[in-house]
């Protein structure tokens, strides 16, 4: 199966449709009057659909087992057809559109099986996804953004040339994957004065986003939070909590990280862990959703 461990957990919703066409009005009357020999067509097929949604991963090889939290099945009876709509909801890392389509398919197949003894012209027509919602595609920023981004690597060993930078490169690559570019990249030692001086330079040059990697742990040389916090006008605890919560699902050591996020003027400062894994996971935890902050700065109104 595809690896989805890096994805964020959000509410996922999908609605799929299937159409069963009948050959005569007598078939529709039999459905409505509950006189089909095999039983109540709508209720039996609804039950089959509920089982199908929950067991999708047992039928479709690449589908992940899902904590399905709602399945709704509706029928719209027309003159010569039955429209089936299946809505599925879950709070998980991947979407539920296949679950919804699988459910709609099995509802339609069950109806076909129950109706074929009395209607040789019954057929299954369109099976399609009507709409879906959830995940980064819905909680990110869809339009292209023009942001000035700087990456700072705070590390004595990297600054002295004893160690190769990996975390900064990971961050840079993820920024590029978001359709943005890194206009400034610098490596400095773990010194409060150097960190503050570099941040001030970036803010004075109107950087929109400054991402710092390193120095957020608890060793004697980890001083990035001490350097960053006094410079911030507004901290954003929710983003800090989201990063740690995401990391905690992967390693218990994430609780030892002291990531700091906040604004200095209109520049967003993000101090992330110094390991490549920690930096990568922190980026996955909050991007692209965090870019919504820049829409807010530009006057976006949630109420409109």
Q: Return the ∠ at Cα 117 (arms to 59 and 81), rounded to 5°.
A: 75
- Residue 232 token pair: 């911030």
Q: Is residue 141 included in any domain, yes or no?
A: no
CB neighbours (10 Å) of residue 185? 15
Is 2's pLDDT higher than 80? yes
Structural domains of the chain, count: 2
Confidence of residue 304 (pLDDT cuts 50, 70, 90): very low
The overall average pLDDT reported for the chain is 93
Instruction: Tell me, yes or no, whether 50 and 162 share the same domain.
Output: no
Indicate the residue among 108, 135, 162 that finishes a domain: 135
Is 225's pLDDT higher than 60? yes
Instruction: Tell me, yes or no, whether 101 and 45 share the same domain.
Output: yes
Active site residue 113: yes
What is the reported pLDDT for 1? 86
CATH of the domain at 237: 3.40.980.10
Q: pLDDT tens digit string along 139-165?
A: 655 667 889 999 999 999 999 999 999
Instruction: Tell me, yes or no, whether 131 and 169 share the same domain.
Output: no
Catalytic residue selected from 113, 138, 194, 284:
113
Instruction: Tell me, yes or no, whether 104 and 198 share the same domain.
Output: no
Confidence of residue 245 (pLDDT cuts 50, 70, 90): very high
- Which string of DSSP letters, residue by residue, matches the chain? ----TTSPPEEEEEEEEEEEE-S-HHHHHHHHHT--TT--HHHHHHHHHHHHHHTHHHHSTTPPP--EEEEEEEEEE-SSEEEEEEEEEEEESS--HHHHHHHHHHHHHHHHHHHTTT-TT-EEEEEEEEEEE-SHHHHS--S-----EEEEEE-HHHHTTSS---HHHHHHHHHHHTT--EEEEEEE-S-HHHHHHHHHHHHHTT-SEEEEES--SSSTT--HHHHHGGG-SEE-HHHHHHHHHHHHTT-GGGGG---EEEEETTEEEEEE-SSHHHHHHHHHHHTTGGGHHHHHHTT--TT-
Indicate the residue among 135, 161, 190 that finishes a domain: 135
Instruction: Tell me, yes or no, whether 105 and 173 share the same domain.
Output: no
Could you tell me the residue range of the domain that residue 119 belongs to? Answer: 10-135
Instruction: Tell me, yes or no, whether 79 and 169 share the same domain.
Output: no
CATH of the domain at 39: 3.30.70.640
What is the reported pLDDT for 303? 47
Is 244's pLDDT higher than 60? yes
What is the reported pLDDT for 9? 87
Is 284's pLDDT higher than 70? yes
Q: Is residue 271 included in any domain, yes or no?
A: yes
Instruction: Tell me, yes or no, whether 127 and 157 share the same domain.
Output: no
Least confident of 1-10, 96-105, 179-188: 1-10
What is the reported pLDDT for 84? 98
Is 43's pLDDT higher than 80? yes
Instruction: Tell me, yes or no, whether 198 and 108 share the same domain.
Output: no
What is the reported pLDDT for 296? 81
């Amino acid at each position: 199966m595809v690896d989805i461990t890096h994805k964020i957990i959000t509410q996922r919703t999908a609605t799929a449709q299937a159409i069963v066409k009948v050959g005569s009005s007598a078939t529709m009357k039999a459905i409505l009057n509950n006189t089909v020999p095999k039983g109540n067509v709508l209720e039996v097929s609804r039950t089959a659909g509920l089982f199908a949604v929950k067991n999708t991963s047992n039928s479709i090889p690449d589908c992940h087992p899902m904590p399905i939290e709602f399945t709704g099945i509706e029928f719209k009876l027309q003159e010569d057809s039955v429209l089936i709509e299946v809505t599925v909801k879950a709070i998980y890392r991947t979407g539920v559109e296949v679950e919804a389509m699988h459910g709609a398919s099995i509802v339609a197949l069950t109806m076909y099986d129950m109706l074929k003894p009395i209607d040789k012209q019954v057929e299954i027509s369109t099976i399609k996804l009507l709409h879906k919602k959830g995940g980064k595609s819905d909680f990110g920023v869809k339009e292209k953004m023009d942001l000035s981004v700087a990456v700072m690597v705070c590390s004595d060993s990297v600054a002295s040339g004893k160690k190769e930078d990996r975390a900064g490169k990971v961050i840079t690559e993820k920024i590029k994957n978001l359709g943005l570019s890194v206009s400034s990249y610098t490596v400095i030692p773990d010194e409060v004065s150097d960190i503050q001086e570099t941040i001030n330079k970036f803010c004075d040059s109107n950087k929109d986003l400054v991402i710092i990697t390193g120095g957020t742990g608890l060793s004697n040389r980890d001083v990035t939070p001490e350097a960053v916090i006094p410079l911030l006008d507004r901290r954003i605890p929710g983003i800090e909590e989201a990063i740690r919560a995401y990391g905690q699902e992967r390693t218990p050591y994430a609780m030892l990280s002291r990531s700091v996020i906040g604004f200095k003027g209109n520049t967003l400062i993000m101090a992330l862990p110094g390991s490549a894994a920690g930096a990568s996971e922190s980026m996955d935890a909050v991007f692209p959703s965090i870019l919504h902050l820049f829409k807010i700065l530009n006057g976006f109104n949630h109420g409109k």
